Structure 1
């Protein structure tokens, strides 16, 4: 772990990194084009103002168009031994860095995948990256020291480093981050055409789905522009699927509509099932077994012990669904798909209420 880390950009991400590193005893130096942001970050305990001292590692957490220039300045000026960044797009800053010239071997592009709808130093939190993924995207020429320092910073912030390439990162983020942001904004924007009397009918599902619509517009304009080609492909693909669905809804009979919706929902279930429950975990298809547990002590321990006695390994445990007013709750357990049906069968035969989650 570098003993002295410089942070360029004291917004939400930069200040949160500073708070997390300072809590680990790292000396953190802060710099930002907006002096007021540095003052706030200092007062919050994220570090002290950077007066030009040399650091072992620097993290660039500035807006996307300025990342390459900041990296170039740090390395060319000899202010940092190694540098990483926190940009949401990776290929564009790398291209910019190549155009600027110079030795990029001490730079390890990276992206802590965490954030909030609010921005600025005042919104920073030391636990923002806890149990989150930190994409680490070294270049072919990136030296081991830069890779090691970047990984160490991620770990010190409580994140799980996941190694990939700039291009693969951008393709993936278009699907899992950038297009969802656009969809949330489009969906929330539909409220502007709804009668004010009907807006209160929006339930928690709508609020959850449109949460990202509160994000900073200027920040996201830069991110979307910086990754426009992968995002464009995803938007066009999604648009085609929605148009096809609209055609069925408008012209299809009841059976055709039911078939289309069932296929859409099943694809959604399959996609959700691929999401790892832990940050950075290897994705694997598990067989999920649900069990109804009475609201009394020892039920969870009993079911875990019983399944273990059968020689079946429980790979993961889902959230325990239980209302305080209900006499029972449901827990879902991940097991090898090859034995999931057998586990359900044996549980039912021993008196438990169990099912195989589709």
Structure 2
């Protein structure tokens, strides 16, 4: 994915937006826009969801008024149908959607005769395990990426309106193609959901007396298993090709490890596990810390801070004198009854060792995280 710098002067001001679908995403869009003073009109086949979203402050029922832009936030199988209905109604000049799969709805849209010039496929990359309007939040998209996936037929007005929508919801719009989006989401979203569900499902076969041994690591790893099964069935079916490829690749990696565990020597097992762990650490290091930023491996420096006011400010002050840019600050690891804690700072990898040396010379306890 490649981020673009959008010319704010070319973006339209959205005064009235229509939202089709009042589940988690649609209602959260309504809440975010309403907080910015945008008039939001809501539509859903489930009138109870519309009523709930309205009571939450996400907007009011859509009674046929014309809007500046409409966004379709319905389950994947109905996206193309809703886009066509909106375009033919003439209620919105431009339309976007919020689906987590992009190629399938586009193919269906072409088959249905949708006007591709007015539709900009998009995907706000945010969510929760809980679903429905009751789980919506106005800040769901804050500092999150909003994938903008136009095709050659997409008109500039539709692209600009979609970007304006993302900004209005507090997100960072990032442009990519539908194909690249789906391939990426298979790796970073869809397969992780499958793995979490499979791993949590294995707990069902565990003897009841062993369940209390479940630790926080298992809970963290399986958090996604609480996601809505019907919703995810549609998503996975809609992106089956890229997902199948990733699942086979992951399965081959795990099978190879199982073979080594079965028949390998102690040294071979150690080497295989080390390769797996190092690969995971390398992958984690590539995770962007800022929304829309390209993947980059930072050097992480840990610093021990005394539990007293002003320590973090003093640390940042020291580093600023050395012209070393702090790219990100990790969570402050600190036990309530401990006299000190650890903060980790992300810097250019070439500057990490220098930073450790300078901090040590100035009386700080610092180390480079491996």
Q: TM-score, normalised by structure 2?
A: 0.94
Matches within 5 A, 1:1-358: 1-358=13-370
Distance 1:212 1:16, change over 3 A: same
Count residues with an aligned counterpart: 358
Say if 2:19 and 2:70, in contact at 8 Å, map to a contact too: yes
Deviations 1:118-176 (A, max 9, x none): 11112211111112111111111211211111111111111111111110000000000
Distance 1:298 1:41, change over 3 A: closer
Single out whichever of 247-256 and 265-274 deviates more from structure 2.
247-256
Task: Tell me the CA shift for residue 322 of structure 1.
Answer: 1.2
Q: TM-score, normalised by structure 1?
A: 0.97
Structure 1 unaligned segments of length 5 or more: list them. none
Task: Tell me the CA shift for residue 42 of structure 1.
Answer: 1.4
Deviations 1:75-114 (A, max 9, x none): 1221211000010100000111111114210101011111
Return the alpha-carbon distance in structure 2 between the equivalents of residues 171 and 133 of structure 1. 16
Return the alpha-carbon distance in structure 2 between the equivalents of residues 351 and 122 of structure 1. 51
Structure 2 unaligned segments of length 5 or more: list them. 1-12
Deviations 1:168-208 (A, max 9, x none): 00000000000000001000000110011111110111111
Secondary structure of residue in 1 paired with 2:209: coil
